[in-house]
Amino acid sequence: MSDSIRALASSMVSRKISGADPYILFLGAGASISSGCSSMMQIVDCVLEQHAKSEFEKWENEIEKATKENKKFGEFLGNEIGKEKRTRFFEIWGTLDHETQYSILRPHLWDDKKPSEGYENLAKLVKKGYIKKILSTNLENLLEKALNNVGCYQPDDFVVVVNGKDRHEELVEQLNSSRSSLKITKLHGSLESPKSYAFKQDEISDFAKKIKPDLSRLINQSLIIVGYSGQDRDVDLLFEDEGKEIHFVNPSKPEAESRISQILAVRGKGKIIDGNDGKFDTFFEKLLKYVELEEERSNASDSEPSIEGFLRNIGFGKELENPRSRYKNLTSLYVKPTEYNEICSKLEKDHVIFIIGEPHLGKTYTAIHLLWEYYQKGYETLHIRHDNLVTRLHENEGNLTNLLLSLLSSKDGNPVIIHFDDPFGETMERRTDEFAKGLNDFLLLSKKYEHLRIIVTTRLNIFREALAEQDCQNIEGLEKDLRVHTSYKSEVLVDILHRYTQFYKPLWSTDEKIVRELDEKLPKMLPAPHNIEFFVRTSERLTSLEEIFQHVDKSKEMIKALGEWMASLSDHEQIFLTWVEIQSTSNILFTNDSASKINLEDAYRETLAFLYKRRYIFSIPPSSFSVDKDKFDMILLESREKDSDVSKFDFVHPSYHEAFWYAIKEESRLLYWWRVLKENLAGILDDLDNKLDRVQLRIIENYGTVNRDLDKLLLISAESEDVDEKVIALKHMMERIEVFGESYSFSSCMEAVISAQDPKHRMVLVNLLPKNFSTLPPGIIDKSMLLLVDPEKEVRNRYWEIYSDRIEIIDKLETNPEFKLGRLVKKIQLIELLNRHLNNKSIEIKVINRFLQITLPEFKIVFKNNLELGYDLTQYAYSSGGILRRSLSNTQKENIKYIEEYIITNLHDDRFLQKRSARLVVNALERARMNKTRATMKK
């Protein structure tokens, strides 16, 4: 049994070293028995003896009589009568005032009570930083006394919040605060605050309503439960079937039918520590001893290589929290391929090795094992995944040689081995070219350093295509293929099967017939290590031979099997994996952009809240993020960048990316959630500081399904029929105007946004212009001049401000052949005319005449988005009598006629028709008046 305590101590030390959240401690009433406190049943008996003596004596006589006849029957009857006693106790307790309740409890829980050795050892663990949150159902203050005894005091070292005494807001604030190293939450109140006691049903209901939503998230994290019998209904309500590991510590196991027993069985994580080790004092004595031994071992590992130190060194510290991590158990699970010795020889001789091959052959696992061997020789080890490589290249302006130099300089001259995992891209759809472009210089430089070793792992097809596009002459002789059917002989594949069977312990592993059948047939059916690992891990609950071999067949096509598995998950789990795919791809595509800094946990919770509010889903599982993260811990890698408290997630293997998009292409429910997310993205992420937009989501979608680079993916969005998408694409292209400024797609996208029906799109464009105006190509500035006559006053006025502030730039463009619209605007003196027209100022005839030189083709260009304004300006051709001005030339009169016909044909706006009708009436009245005047003069 002590092995369970030793394993728990090891996990606690690993968590502390890796910076992971420590276990949360839950203390029940049994924790205080050894300190002299009465048990709950002793308090019940005391109250009944005082307030229901006849009933109490009757029950006691029945138990005594049954015990004399049969001891086991007496124990059974005692348990059954105990339930009746508790019911009667609660009835009586509810009739007592707070002062009476306090006077009853004090002798049992307070007077002359001192912390036991268990509490003293617990306090030492707290002081060492292994426990930072304690939930307790106990009313006494033994824990606080023990903390004082080791030099910890309120409020500097710990805070205590009492449910029923402290305000709910304060309780929540303290639980989430980082101001003190320890938070103690007393769930059932505190003895010195009688009004806080939670015993009765109404008090328990009040507890459930107020405190459960906030505590449920905590209590379903990794938990150590000590001294809790599982008989508090209010506490049981906090536990959920799905959650992290639970270590249940109690002298006796929980009853088979109890809620806590069911939860332990369903979760299947953690241990039950019972018997002598389950006693409060014994448990904490051993736990402290093993923690201190583990600390000594860990300190020694700083000088003596350990797998724990190695994993932390390469950024896999989170793997230490997962007892079933393949990396944590590298030394017992890894089996060498036949090419292993040759790989080692090439690496030593050439300093560089490219391990290439088809998926699932163990390329990365082999590279990690090589890193581990060199780590034991004293080498500094670096493991750089594709997403991390993209970030590092961005920091080094895309120069691979500079990146290598920066990696070497950070190691102070120590020997270094670097593993680049999938540097050419994880899949054909997720390819990047930066690594291949600088490969020649990179290889030349790497050979200059005697104490440098480089391992590159990549898929064969990606490797071949990447090199086909580059002139990489220095790579010959540096490759080593891992191949199906040759890299792992049959007996080796059986060895791999046995290792994973021992590791995962599937139910079928106890059936000798099934094991023999698998030993005989599996090497021919599953010739790759990753397929075998997948088969064993996902067949844990199978027991029949037929089911198992059906599952072997599925495991041959891993992408399909994984995709179908993802499609079968619950809605919230599919949404979780969708955000993993988004975050991991954003880290590659949008380095240092807001999209790459999204907090996955926040985005996931906002998504569920939005979907629930809009009735896409009808419930939100409590602690869904931590539950989902824990469920998928075998397929996820979690990391944190330096100086960041935001965790980044990625799938542990490229196959999971492929499987995700396989499920999308197969139109599973994952596709439904992807579309919902795409349609509602802005609303979902509205309250987050870091966001991604629809175009970025579209790029991620294309990146997962189309073999294109980022620039081409952006151009796809620029050519979209969705104007919203065009606007966002235009924003991204303006930020990289040196790349897109001269492209046809950029120009056509600009025209489409300028002509967009909704003024909000045009307003976005206008707001983008000031920052980028001076860098825009002349042709683009020329197209933007249409905004001078925009139908929307706000858009028009904002562009006028931009135009006025940058008149010097515009004047310099006058001779540029692309500045056609700009020259036309100047030719017809449109700026001066508009300024006076829109501000209701008088206009000189010469300005009008200059404008009325405009031809129909020129009118179509200038006023194509605002014919109504064009019509208003052409009306300056008429005198107040509604007759064309005599000063106009015949050509001008003819132009006006053609322009009006064009406007009448193309503009059907009601306001225009009313305006035109009114002018025709005025003209008719004016002509009638003039005709009458002429007739009078003739007489």
What's the pLDDT tens digit per position in 141-187?
889 899 888 888 887 788 888 877 777 666 666 655 555 578 888 88
**Any idea which of 159-173, 279-293, 362-376, 544-558 has the lowest mean pLDDT?**
159-173
What is the per-residue pLDDT for 633? 77
**Spatial separation of the C-alpha atoms in residues 131 and 76, rounded to whole Å:** 38
- Asked whether the predicted pLDDT for residue 305 surpasses 60, the reply is yes
Helices 910-938 and 867-874: crossing angle, nearest 10°? 10
What is the per-residue pLDDT for 374? 93
What is the per-residue pLDDT for 637? 76
What is the per-residue pLDDT for 75? 82
**Any idea which of 145-159, 627-641, 707-721, 880-894 has the lowest mean pLDDT?**
707-721
pLDDT in tens, 749-783: 888 999 888 999 889 889 989 888 888 889 989 98
E strand or H helix at 385, and its extent? strand 380-385
E strand or H helix at 511, and its extent? none
**Spatial separation of the C-alpha atoms in residues 180 and 173, rounded to whole Å:** 12
Say if residues 192 and 205 touch (Cβ distance below 8 Å): no
Average the pLDDT over 676-689 and give the result.
Answer: 90
CA 688 to chain centre: 13
pLDDT in tens, 726-741: 888 888 888 778 888 8
* Backbone angles phi and psi of 551, in degrees to 5: -70, -30
pLDDT confidence of 366, banded at 50, 70, 90? very high
Pairwise pLDDT comparison (266 vs 109), residue with the higher score: 109
Label the pairing between strands 647-651 and 636-640.
antiparallel
pLDDT more than 90, % of the chain: 18
Q: DSSP string spanning 326-369?
A: TTTTHHHH----TTHHHHHHHHHHHSEEEEEESTTS-HHHHHHH
Q: Which residue has the tokens 């008090």?
A: 203
17-26, 30-39, 180-189: which has the highest mean pLDDT?
Answer: 30-39
What is the per-residue pLDDT for 330? 93
pLDDT in tens, 865-896: 888 888 888 888 887 767 788 888 888 888 88
What is the per-residue pLDDT for 208? 47
pLDDT confidence of 241, banded at 50, 70, 90? very low
Residue 648 β-bridge partners:
639
Say if residues 725 and 695 touch (Cβ distance below 8 Å): yes
**Spatial separation of the C-alpha atoms in residues 92 and 106, rounded to whole Å:** 18
- Detail the DSSP E strand segments found in 685-740: none
Average the pLDDT over 11-28 and give the result.
Answer: 81
Compute how many other C-beta atoms are within 10 angstroms of the C-beta atom of residue 503: 16
Handedness of CA 432, 437, 441, 444 (dihedral sign): positive
**Spatial separation of the C-alpha atoms in residues 430 and 709, rounded to whole Å:** 9
- Order across the sheet with 416-421: list the strands: 380-385, 416-421, 452-459, 352-357, 479-482
Q: How many CA atoms lie within 13 A of 251 on its CB side?
A: 10
**Spatial separation of the C-alpha atoms in residues 234 and 569, rounded to whole Å:** 31
Say if residues 320 and 327 touch (Cβ distance below 8 Å): no
What is the per-residue pLDDT for 381? 92
pLDDT in tens, 125-139: 998 888 988 888 888
pLDDT in tens, 49-103: 888 888 888 988 888 888 888 888 888 888 888 888 888 888 888 888 888 888 8
Neighbouring residues of 617: CB distance < 8 A, sequence distance ≥ 6: 571, 572, 608, 611
| Longest CA–CA separation in the chain, Å | 144
Task: Please give the structure tokens belonging to residue 611.
Answer: 């979907």
Say if residues 766 and 799 touch (Cβ distance below 8 Å): yes
- Asked whether the predicted pLDDT for residue 837 surpasses 90, the reply is no
**Any idea which of 55-64, 207-216, 589-598, 739-748 has the lowest mean pLDDT?**
207-216
- Asked whether the predicted pLDDT for residue 496 surpasses 90, the reply is yes
pLDDT more than 70, % of the chain: 84
With vertex at residue 693, the alpha carbon angle to CA 690 and CA 695, rounded to the nearest 5 degrees, is 145
In the three-class reduction of DSSP (H, G, I as helix; E, B as strand; rest coil), residue 166 is classed as strand
What is the per-residue pLDDT for 320? 79
Distances from the Cα of 701 to the Cα of 461, 573, 705, angstroms: 22, 19, 6
- 155 preceded by a cis bond (ω within 30 of 0): yes
Say if residues 315 and 323 touch (Cβ distance below 8 Å): no
Pairwise pLDDT comparison (267 vs 527), residue with the higher score: 527
- Detail the DSSP E strand segments found in 112-204: 133-136, 158-162, 182-186
Average the pLDDT over 293-312 and give the result.
Answer: 77
**Spatial separation of the C-alpha atoms in residues 88 and 95, rounded to whole Å:** 11
Helices 545-556 and 512-525: crossing angle, nearest 10°? 20
Selection from 149, 127, 128, 146 nearest residue 136 by Cα = 146
**Any idea which of 18-22, 47-51, 424-428, 655-659 has the lowest mean pLDDT?**
18-22
With vertex at residue 270, the alpha carbon angle to CA 268 and CA 276, rounded to the nearest 5 degrees, is 125
pLDDT in tens, 899-920: 888 888 887 655 555 555 555 5
**Spatial separation of the C-alpha atoms in residues 359 and 816, rounded to whole Å:** 56
Distances from the Cα of 334 to the Cα of 67, 360, 457, 531, angstroms: 58, 14, 17, 14
What is the per-residue pLDDT for 420? 93
Q: For the CA atoms of the chain, what is the radius of gyration?
A: 38
What is the per-residue pLDDT for 15? 78
Average the pLDDT over 231-250 and give the result.
Answer: 64
Selection from 624, 633, 585 nearest residue 602 by Cα = 624
What is the per-residue pLDDT for 418? 93
Residue 453 β-bridge partners:
417
What is the per-residue pLDDT for 179? 53
pLDDT confidence of 468, banded at 50, 70, 90? confident
Average the pLDDT over 305-324 and give the result.
Answer: 82
Distances from the Cα of 417 to the Cα of 53, 454, 511, angstroms: 79, 6, 44
pLDDT confidence of 286, banded at 50, 70, 90? very high
What is the per-residue pLDDT for 240? 54
Burial class of residue 810 (count of CB atoms within 10 Å of its CB; 0-12, 13-18, 19+): buried
Burial class of residue 472 (count of CB atoms within 10 Å of its CB; 0-12, 13-18, 19+): middle
